[in-house]
């Protein structure tokens, strides 16, 4: 639904747009500590004695906000997806990380080997913030602390709030190491331009290359260099939960094979005008490939089966994500199969998982297929030719990934989003269709293409979550509390390890509306009728600064001009009580600390 926004019917929760350095909330007369430094002359980044052994034991303190606990688990999953870093619940180990709610976001650097605190205070319940603090715990300092930083950024100390100049110290290369990697303006460990400034309109950091000024201090996700350094430092041979991915850019097609028992083969095809791949969208000469099965000739019901290499899972649950396009007959089909170990060592037991049918939309679409298998297996794409006489095209697949994670609960694609951003006013909004959570709650998302929020980078797009009346409301629990809603704007980079998707989460509670009703009560009771869906949409809660227009335009968020949003809504009541007892012996005695923010 596209319409004008009525702000009287909305509650806007604005996540504070912190700079990395101001993530520590400041309380009167209390120092806010961001990172701790080791007492020894070498930090954990260099000294291998401060490297962790995996999995890292952790405790979620009961004083943590429930939303923060859910976000910690999200951050854990990102580490597993992009590295060999793993975490486990504490079971009496000597060394561990305890997450607590203290005065801000802070962490010690490296494994203290006797237990340590990682604080997630108010406003720290953000996946990228937690990734940042865990990188400190794993042994990383801020990017602008590098020995060579003056080659890449200018620090304007005269613009720094008096007494806070130490936050811009740089360190010698016998104290920290850059892992033999170039300076990274995009690192999640970099300060923003206005960090610790005394004049709100004058920056303390500027970039030698002006194009990176709006990039430093991003809080989307790990940068590609962050991932490289993390894996290099911990000698990771590969990520834990990424089983397979393929963009079909090479003739080897990632080890996939053509089945011998079918009628035809998939064809490895180069992008051409009118038939572009999804990876590069036909923008590169002699590059941009996909797999294609023509349905314009041959006999009806002929098939082609493309199988992956044999895979060896560690988890039961998996998510197969891929992009596909069907431009042929409405009777054409794309069938996803799993070929499993038959119990005797042979991978030959077949199971049909999901079927996709052609429709009038001939553009690239994203698909997610949930798979559960605990034995060695292959996944397969079967193309089925429908009616050749009615076909003018075929079936295309590209940019595949298979992860040992849950698929998103809902996916929403908004087409032509660049044009929408350009023409929208601040009271323009788009409402999603109704989605259902695994429990049965109806919900939706409201997108404000051009929100009222602006900063030095320009305009922002806002995202808001709301409940929607649905077919299960009579049996659902009301109000719907202790449920975490997570919204993700997908970075469509073909390499899942390099994606920097923007994610935010909120957790429902028993808060009240201005009229005294429960905010998350049955939408039929507290919502507003939407004639377009003949449903009631509840009050909205979200972020007017969800993502910058600057970021939307510079990465792969708008590939094919499609904005893709993932939504999850899950019960996290089980995380209310998570703390387990531990004996604190020498915490905060092994190191001194540097105050990064004080009043």
Q: Which residues are annotated as a binding site for Zn(2+)?
A: 132, 136, 142
With the CA atoms of 547, 553, 559 and 562 taken in that order, what torsion angle do they form, in degrees rounded to the nearest 10?
50
Question: From residue 285, how far is each of 252, 270, 493 by CA, in Å?
Answer: 19, 10, 19
With the CA atoms of 206, 208, 212 and 215 taken in that order, what torsion angle do they form, in degrees rounded to the nearest 10?
-30
Binding residues: 132, 136, 142
Question: From residue 460, how far is each of 113, 162, 397, 463 by CA, in Å?
Answer: 43, 32, 33, 10
Task: Assign 472 to helix, strand or coil.
Answer: coil
Residue-wise burial string across 460-477, b where 16 or more C-beta atoms lie within 10 A, e elsewhere: bbbbbbbbbbbeebeebe
Asked if residue 95 lies in contact with residue 114, where contact means CB atoms within 8 angstroms, the answer is yes
β-strand pairing of 303-307 with 317-326: unpaired
Q: In what order do the strands lie in the sheet with 347-357?
A: 257-258, 303-307, 377-384, 333-341, 347-357
Nearest Cα residue to 513 out of 7, 6, 5, 11:
11
Is 133 considered catalytic here?
yes
What stretches of 141-204 adopt beta strand conformation (E)?
A: 153-155
Q: How far apart are CA 50 and CA 179, in angstroms?
A: 16
CB neighbours of residue 586 within 10 Å: 10
144: which DSSP letter? G
Asked if residue 492 lies in contact with residue 413, where contact means CB atoms within 8 angstroms, the answer is no
Asked if residue 598 lies in contact with residue 163, where contact means CB atoms within 8 angstroms, the answer is yes
Q: How far apart are CA 448 and CA 429, in angstroms?
A: 5
309: which DSSP letter? P
HSE, side-chain direction, 13 A CA sphere, residue 477: 10
Asked if residue 196 lies in contact with residue 161, where contact means CB atoms within 8 angstroms, the answer is yes
Which of 131, 133, 186, 249 is catalytic? The answer is 133
With the CA atoms of 416, 422, 426 and 428 taken in that order, what torsion angle do they form, in degrees rounded to the nearest 10?
-30
Catalytic residue positions? 133
């Amino acid at each position: 639904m596209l319409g004008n926004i009525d702000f009287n019917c909305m509650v806007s929760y604005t996540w504070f747009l912190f700079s990395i350095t101001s993530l520590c909330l400041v309380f009167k007369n209390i120092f806010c500590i961001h990172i701790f430094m080791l007492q020894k002359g070498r930090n954990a980044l260099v000294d291998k004695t401060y490297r962790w052994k995996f999995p890292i034991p952790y405790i979620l303190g009961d004083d943590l906000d429930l939303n923060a606990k859910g976000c910690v688990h999200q951050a854990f999953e990102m580490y597993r997806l992009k590295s060999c870093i793993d975490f486990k619940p504490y079971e009496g180990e000597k060394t561990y990380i305890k997450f607590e709610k203290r005065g801000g976001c802070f962490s010690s650097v490296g494994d203290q080997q006797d237990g340590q605190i990682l604080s997630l205070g108010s406003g720290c319940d953000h996946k990228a913030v937690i990734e940042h603090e865990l990188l400190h715990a794993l042994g990383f300092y801020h990017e602008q602390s590098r020995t060579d930083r003056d080659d890449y950024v200018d620090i304007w100390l005269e613009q720094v709030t008096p007494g806070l100049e130490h936050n811009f110290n740089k360190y010698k290369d016998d104290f920290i190491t850059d892992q033999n990697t170039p300076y990274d303006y995009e690192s999640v460990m970099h300060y923003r331009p206005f960090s610790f400034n005394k004049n709100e309109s004058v920056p303390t950091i500027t970039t030698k290359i002006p194009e990176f000024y709006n990039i430093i201090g991003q809080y989307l996700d790990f940068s590609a260099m962050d991932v490289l350094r993390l894996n290099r430092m911990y000698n990771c041979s590969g990520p834990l939960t990424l089983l397979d991915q393929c963009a079909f850019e090479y003739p080897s097609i990632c080890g996939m094979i053509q089945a011998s028992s079918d009628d035809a083969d998939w064809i490895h095809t180069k992008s051409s005008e009118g038939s572009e791949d999804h990876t590069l969208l036909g923008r590169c000469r002699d590059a941009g490939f996909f797999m294609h099965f023509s349905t314009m000739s041959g006999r009806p019901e002929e098939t082609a089966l493309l199988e992956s290499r044999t895979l060896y899972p560690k988890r039961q649950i998996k998510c197969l994500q891929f992009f596909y396009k069907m431009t042929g007959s409405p009777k054409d089909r794309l069938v996803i199969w799993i070929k499993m170990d038959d119990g005797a060592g042979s991978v030959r037991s077949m199971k049909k998982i999901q079927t996709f049918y052609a429709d009038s939309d001939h553009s690239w679409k994203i698909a997610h297929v949930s798979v559960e298998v605990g034995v060695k297996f292959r996944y397969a794409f079967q193309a089925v030719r429908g009616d050749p006489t009615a076909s003018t095209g075929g079936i295309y697949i590209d940019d595949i990934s298979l992860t040992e994670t849950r698929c998103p609960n809902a996916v929403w694609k908004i087409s032509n989003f660049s044009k929408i951003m350009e023409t929208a006013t601040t009271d323009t909004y788009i409402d999603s269709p109704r989605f259902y959570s695994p429990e049965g709650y109806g919900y939706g998302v409201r997108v404000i293409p051009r929100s009222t929020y602006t900063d030095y980078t320009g305009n922002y797009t806002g995202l808001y979550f709301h409940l929607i009346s649905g077919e299960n409301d009579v049996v659902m629990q009301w109000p719907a509390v202790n449920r975490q809603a997570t919204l993700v704007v997908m970075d469509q980079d073909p390499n899942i390890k390099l994606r920097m998707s923007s994610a935010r989460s909120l957790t429902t509670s028993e808060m009240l509306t201005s009229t005294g009703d429960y905010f998350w009560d049955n939408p039929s009771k507290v919502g507003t009728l939407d004639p377009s869906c003949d449903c009631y949409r509840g009050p909205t809660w979200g972020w007017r600064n969800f993502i910058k227009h600057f970021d939307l335009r510079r990465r792969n968020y708008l590939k094919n001009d499609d904005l893709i949003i993932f939504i999850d809504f899950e019960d996290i009541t089980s995380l209310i009580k998570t703390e387990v007892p531990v004996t604190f012996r020498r915490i905060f005695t092994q190191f001194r600390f540097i105050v990064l923010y004080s009043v």
